Structure 1
Amino acid sequence: MKKLNLFTFLLLSILLSCSSKQQPQPFAKGEFKTWAQTPPMGWNSWDCYGPTVEEHEVKANADYMAENLKAFGWEYIVVDIRWFVENDKAGGYNQTDPRYVIDEYGRYQPAVNRFPSAKDQNGFKDLADYVHSKGLKFGIHIMRGIPKVAVENKLPIKGTDGITADQIYSTELQCPWLRDNYTIVADKPGAQEYYNSIFELYAGWGIDFIKIDDLSRPYHQGEIELIRNAIDNCGRPIVLSTSPGETPIEAAGHVSEHANMWRMVDDVWDTWPHITHLMDICQKWYPYIAPGTWPDCDMIPLGRISIRGERGNDRMTRLTPDEQYTLMTLFTIFRSPLMFGGDLPSNDAFTLSLLTNKEVLKMHSESTGVKQLFQEDGKVAITSSNPNNGAIYLALFNISDEEAPLQLSVNLNDLGIEGECSVTNIWTGENVGNFAGEFSCDLAAHASGLYIIRK
């Protein structure tokens, strides 16, 4: 065997070293749960811009978050649906003549007329860099499956030996409300490679968060596993949010082993029945609230929404102030991810106050043992505790439509409290008083109270 001279040996060693450094290193099984130890908090473009958001609007919301919300734990900026369509519309989707932007491997690219920095096949890299420069994180939305145009044009799948898009798809279980993609048949050769290829692309752009739609109803276990594998092997931590609801409770064990957050309901908008329906559904999911894996109440439809949205006209939220407190109290004590849906630069002082209450956000990030005490006769009580300081949290809700206020009472022994304790209203900071045995309060219809109790 011919011996290598020293120069050749060193050159080969350097090349092999460089090559190995370029290969993404897979994450250990379950490591993804360390990426969201507290519920993710951020902004999503859907409620205010639907499928039409543009780069300058994303940057404006990132600027606002960096200046006003970052110090309170808000960090994600997420571009929602159909960023790859040049001619989408408000109030629904253009499914008549959409102009898709797609690369040679069947992977969607940002529409340059909406995202100018994506020119020259730059993708979202520059926009992600801008968001990162603010100390924030950047996310995108995609639909489950493979683009129909990739199938129709038999585009090759990167990382395979000649497999094309038309060899891995099925028309079965195609999304009924947005028909851009076909189902990927999970056990087909090339299926894993396609998902690997898109997450390789996203990792190169600097994506930190991905919301994937049409995964939960029906529950697409095969594609969810392909996605989990692809993220774990792309070399970049990318928080995974599955959407929309209703995720079946029978899949709770599986989804909590594959996603960081998952939707429990369909889209939550600014009407009272959406909130009461969410409270009903939450009852199933308390046992699955855990670091790294979070049942998701959906986006927060507060502030200015539907600028070019799917539902209704440009408006400030239709929820009353009491109903807004109720929504935020439920989301925070339940420890749902918090994804604000309104246009942040349009916030008024009241909306900003709902997002920046330090004690409420402390409860949201640090509490444990979240459980419902009761839900009956229009009355709901939820509690949790803070292992860091021994505080006990209590949320009370009047979800009835009756005009007369309701009195809500909680036996303090049910909270593990014997003897006297002090109660403080967390939203206002007001000292409510000292109590023993029982705590009661009167709440108007659709109103709530959020309290911190100290022994």
Structure 2
Amino acid sequence: MAMLAQKPPMGWNAWNYFGYTGINEQVVRETADAMVDFGFLDAGYDIVSVDDCWAAAERDKNGDLQADPVKFPSGMKALGDYIHSKGLKFGLYAGGGVVTYCRRAGSYGFERQDAKKFAEWGVDLLKYDFGYPPPGENPTHCFRRMGQALRESGRDIIFSACLGRREVSSWMRSCGANMWRLAGDIKDSWDSIVSVALNAVGLEAYAGPGGWNDPDMMVVGLNGEGYVGKIGGGCTVNEYEAHFALWCMLSAPLLMGHDVRHTTPEIKNILQNKELIAINQDNLGIAAYRIPELAAQDVILAKPLYGGDIAFCLLNQFDSPKNMPLTWDFCGWEITDEVKIRDITAHRDLGVFKSGFCPRVEARSARVFRATRV
């Protein structure tokens, strides 16, 4: 079995827009079509993942999970086949409790049977939640059982563990997980984006090839619409640009959450920024670390890249523009070094700087630069 998730997984998940009630077979098929038509597959987004509420409340006569016959009348095998026919991978949700959060059949006590069924359906990624476990159930044991069952299933299935606690970064990889949620559900708001992102800062030692810190699925492009969009209210283009930049710097899985079928040109440009995606998918696989010495309140992140370059992200989370100084001596270079700077968001070279530089960052936004020592 090859190492899975050697780079942060990229794709789309249904939850943020479609939530409990909006997901069905037609939506997923149309989304798979749109992933190809809008160029997302070519940009690296190759997973289409169905979240909770796909399953029936009861198992079939053989004890197997079965699709909701109204929402998914063709069944999950046929859906997976359609997704695969588009050159995409098939993601699916399951819960480690007796029932899922949507009160559909859970996998507790059926881990091996369900893992084999997922393999039979052609599942490539399993998002595994921890809703409604039996009293006293240890979450470590829950995730460990499914991780082992997936390894025995006969198919390579990326294991996305969803417990939503920061401390899982220190032990979830040992359960066989390839990515692990660090917090509760993100909202479509600036405060939520910043909070969820900063919650992942400081955990970079746990991320790397085969296992990634997962802040949550992205809300870029929700614009206050859909299940999570209506909860948060929406963001500006600058805020969505900063959101995507932070996820790329953190080596986070890039799972879109908007309605791909109605992607606007602005949102497409954000999510298909090739230079930012290259930083996220960098071969070194190191997540960004914070440089607190430069300013107590400013958030300046540095991400070492393969070949010696460093990516810097300057986040202005506040309501007024500001100049944010950056010097080389806090990232492993000498203060006297000359460094070529490229603005990744604007796709332009800024020139060569000695000692450091001090760019202006607009309110509620972020700028990302790629630095090359001359």
Taking structure 2 as the reference length, the TM-score comes to 0.90
Report the Cα offset of residue 377 of structure 1: 4.4
In structure 2, the partner of 1:143 is 95
In structure 2, the partner of 1:10 is none
8 Å Cα contact 1:210/1:239 also seen in 2: yes
- For these two proteins, the number of residue pairs brought into alignment is 362
8 Å Cα contact 2:342/2:369 also seen in 1: yes
After TM superposition, list the pairs within 5 Å mapping 1:145-164 onto structure 2: 145-147=97-99
Question: Is 1:127 paired with 2:100?
Answer: no
Picking from 42, 53, 68, the partner of 1:111 is 68
3-state SS of paired residue (1:273): helix
In structure 2, the partner of 1:54 is 24
In structure 2, the partner of 1:252 is 169
Change (3 A) 1:64 1:183: closer
Deviations 1:123-162 (A, max 9, x none): x111111111111100111111234xxxxxxxxxxxxxxx
Distance in 1, Cα, partners of 2:204 & 2:95: 28
The AA in structure 2 aligned to 1:66 is V
3-state SS of paired residue (2:227): coil
Picking from 278, 283, 293, the partner of 1:362 is 278
Structure 1 runs (4+) greater than 3 angstroms displaced: 177-184, 215-219, 304-308, 375-378
Change (3 A) 1:361 1:183: closer
Unpaired runs of 5+ residues, structure 1, are 1-26, 86-99, 119-123, 148-174, 185-190
In structure 2, the partner of 1:165 is none
In structure 2, the partner of 1:40 is 9
Report the Cα offset of residue 393 of structure 1: 0.7
In structure 2, the partner of 1:291 is 209
Report the Cα offset of residue 269 of structure 1: 1.4
Question: Is 1:278 paired with 2:196?
Answer: yes
In structure 2, the partner of 1:417 is 333
8 Å Cα contact 1:36/1:292 also seen in 2: yes
Larger radius of gyration: 1
3-state SS of paired residue (1:116): coil
Report the Cα offset of residue 101 of structure 1: 4.6
After TM superposition, list the pairs within 5 Å mapping 1:259-274 onto structure 2: 259-274=177-192
Distance in 2, Cα, partners of 1:306 & 1:115: 27
Picking from 221, 225, 238, the partner of 2:157 is 238
Question: Is 1:229 paired with 2:163?
Answer: no
8 Å Cα contact 2:201/2:250 also seen in 1: no
Distance in 2, Cα, partners of 1:137 & 1:368: 22
After TM superposition, list the pairs within 5 Å mapping 1:59-138 onto structure 2: 59-67=29-37, 68-85=39-56, 100-118=57-75, 124-138=76-90
Deviations 1:1-35 (A, max 9, x none): xxxxxxxxxxxxxxxxxxxxxxxxxx5xxx6xx11
Distance in 2, Cα, partners of 1:348 & 1:46: 19
3-state SS of paired residue (2:359): strand
The AA in structure 2 aligned to 1:131 is I
Distance in 1, Cα, partners of 2:103 & 2:24: 22
% same residue = 26
3-state SS of paired residue (2:197): helix
Change (3 A) 1:284 1:364: same
After TM superposition, list the pairs within 5 Å mapping 1:24-39 onto structure 2: 34-39=3-8
Superposed CA RMSD: 2.4
Report the Cα offset of residue 295 of structure 1: 0.4
8 Å Cα contact 1:378/1:400 also seen in 2: no
Distance in 2, Cα, partners of 1:181 & 1:112: 14
Change (3 A) 1:78 1:305: farther
Distance in 2, Cα, partners of 1:306 & 1:379: 28
Distance in 1, Cα, partners of 2:93 & 2:106: 17
Instruction: Name the stretch that deviates more: 34-43 or 103-112.
Output: 103-112
Unpaired runs of 5+ residues, structure 2, are none
Deviations 1:219-271 (A, max 9, x none): 60111111011001010011011114124x2x433202220000011111111
Change (3 A) 1:322 1:36: same
Taking structure 1 as the reference length, the TM-score comes to 0.74
Picking from 307, 318, 334, the partner of 1:400 is 318
